[in-house]
A and B are shown apart, each in its own frame.
Chain A
Amino acid sequence: MSSTTDAFTGRAQISARTLRTDRWWLPPLLTFAGLTAWVVYATVRAFLQENYYVAEYNYLTPFYSPCVSVGCLEEAAHFGRFLPDVWWLPYAALTLPFLLLFRLTCYYYRKAYYRSFWLAPPACAVAEPHKRYTGETRFPLLGQNLHRYFFYAAVLISVINTYDTVLAFTAGVGLGSIILLINIVLLWAYTISCHSCRSIVGGRINNFSKHPARYKSWQFVSRLNTKHMQLAWYTLGTLAFTDFYIMAVSAGWISDLRIVG
């Protein structure tokens, strides 16, 4: 199956798929479990079509922002209501596909799911199970090269999420608005730390000395970029937590802890 264990290539004849003695299987297993759990939660919430808005405090969950379905509550729809209200279409169907594609083509998530879902490879120096490998040279994986366009879309969507957060603060300060604030700060950090952003702001030029502002921007994004993996996970956590908190307040399971107003 793998050239690592095939003798005909002239390599050392070792039949073991790997001789690693550490728990190399644990990180891909945890990644698989974490991503699967998040996707299941997000899918259920995106199609639930209820408990997404707290009118009293202007809390709109990021999973429903912008709410553009005819089925949206009028006060939650800040950008009009024009998508048909059908069960199979999430209320934020205008933006969710772009966010999904932004994360799907993200250089960190690619590493994560190539390793944990596709096992190519499951871990370093552990033979993969596939007979052939062409990487990202042909359709559909060639489409990973479109990452920068989903990055542009993600920036626009982050602006909308920022607007939602500002609206929440116009109704006072509560635990919900602080959660929204933490979420949006981390969302911006994740979005800006993107490898495509790093290339666009300055990485693509060769003469930094002639572009001092771009060089500064590149340095800033490069520093953030070293934390891209952590930010990818933090934002999955804050997105789910923010959504769950707003759902809990909206459904009346808990009441928002108010600080001001």
Chain B
Amino acid sequence: MTHDQHFRVWRGDDEKGELVDYPVEVNEGEVVLDIIHRLQATQAQDMAVRWNCKAGKCGSCSMEINGRPRLACMTRMSTFTEDEVITVTPLRTFPVIRDLVTDVSFNYTKAREIPSFVPPPGVAPGEYRMEQVDVERSQEFRKCIECFLCQNVCHVVRDHEENKEAFAGPRFLMRIAELDMHPLDAGDRQKEAQDEHGLGMCNITKCCTEVCPEHIKITDNALIPLKERVVDRKYDPLVWLGSKIFKRGDARSGA
């Protein structure tokens, strides 16, 4: 089963660009990335596209297909009708390098700003012991393939470039949540999440969860629990009163 499909692909660089029309052959069982590769092979040899595994596990081929952030290798052509015009653009939150390739270094900068695992005092490496029940919650977050679709769709930075400095984005707030839920991590994550990484900017509209190709419940299982832990520390008058009356230190929740 073969048919011709109308593709519109954004071609350009950081100075100018436009949507270019391509009629292209589509075969049964193909995905959008296959079609982009066919365009490269037949009509647009200089079209830039980033890809690698073609299996939805490397997170390289993130782009926007009919306006929706998707992995091109996981978007089946059978989900479109044959007469549908399919518009493919680069991610719209990050600077474009060329055609469908964007500069995602914003995410690497944010990743470096998150302090890594802090070993617990008095426990030597090799002596770490954790029960499965204590770590399985954060194992969901380890499924992340760093496609940055959540970072791209989050309106906090997508619509407001000026927020990029103050906001780590869902992927890295999820990383903070993962460390904060870690039974052995000794880092102080909660105040930092709010004060340094912009957790308060998240208004939990769940687009990160909607676009996640790994179906990680980013909002419900990472961001909201982290917000609640911040409330424990920063906005709970009972905790504040208790710490004043009993002269407690800044005891972390979760002990």
Contact = CB atoms under 8 A, between A and B. Distances in A.
Interface residues of A, number: 56
B110 to A, nearest CB: 17
A148 interface: yes
B134 interface: yes
Query: DSSP class of B's interface residues: helix, strand, loop or mixed?
Result: mixed
A206 B159 contact: no
Nearest to A1: B159
A114 B95 contact: no
A212 to B, nearest CB: 9
A115 B205 contact: yes
Given A148-B228, A204-B228, A120 B155 contact: yes
A135 B201 CA distance: 4
A137 B183 CA distance: 29
B196 interface: no
B250 interface: no
Given A12-B89, A107-B224, A208-B133, A20 B68 contact: yes
Contacts of B198: 135, 137
B92 interface: yes
A18 B84 CA distance: 17
Given A4-B93, A6-B161, A111 B68 contact: no
A109 to B, nearest CB: 10
B203 A19 contact: no
Interface stretch (B11-19, B27-35, B36-44, B51-59): B11-19
Given A11-B95, A125-B67, A199 B229 contact: yes
B147 interface: no
B205 A121 contact: yes
B95 A10 contact: yes
A136 B201 contact: yes
B204 interface: yes
A195 B181 contact: no
B169 interface: no
Interface string A112-126: 001100001100111
Contacts of B163: 133
A255 B253 CA distance: 54
Nearest to B229: A204
A70 interface: no
Contacts, number: 176
A245 B157 CA distance: 47
B131 interface: yes
Given A21-B67, A199-B225, A133 B156 contact: yes
B64 A125 contact: yes
B92 A204 contact: no
A111 B14 CA distance: 34
Interface residues of B, number: 66
Interface in B181-206: 181-183, 198, 200-206
Interface in A197-239: 198-200, 203-209, 215, 225-226
B73 to A, nearest CB: 19
B185 to A, nearest CB: 8
B243 to A, nearest CB: 16
Contacts of B206: 111
Nearest to A212: B133
Given A145-B227, A215-B133, A9 B95 contact: yes
B76 to A, nearest CB: 16
Contacts of A200: 228
Contacts of A198: 225, 228
A128 B155 contact: yes
Contacts of B204: 107, 110-111, 114
A191 to B, nearest CB: 16
Contacts of B161: 3, 6, 9
B22 interface: no
13 contacts: A3-B158, A13-B16, A21-B67, A121-B159, A125-B68, A133-B156, A142-B200, A146-B235, A195-B224, A204-B229, A205-B253, A206-B181, A207-B183
Which 3 A-B pairs have CB atoms at the shortest separation, nearest pair first?
A: A19-B67, A20-B67, A10-B95
Given A121-B207, A204-B229, 13 more contacts: A3-B162, A6-B161, A9-B161, A11-B92, A12-B92, A114-B203, A128-B155, A133-B201, A135-B203, A136-B201, A137-B200, A145-B231, A209-B134
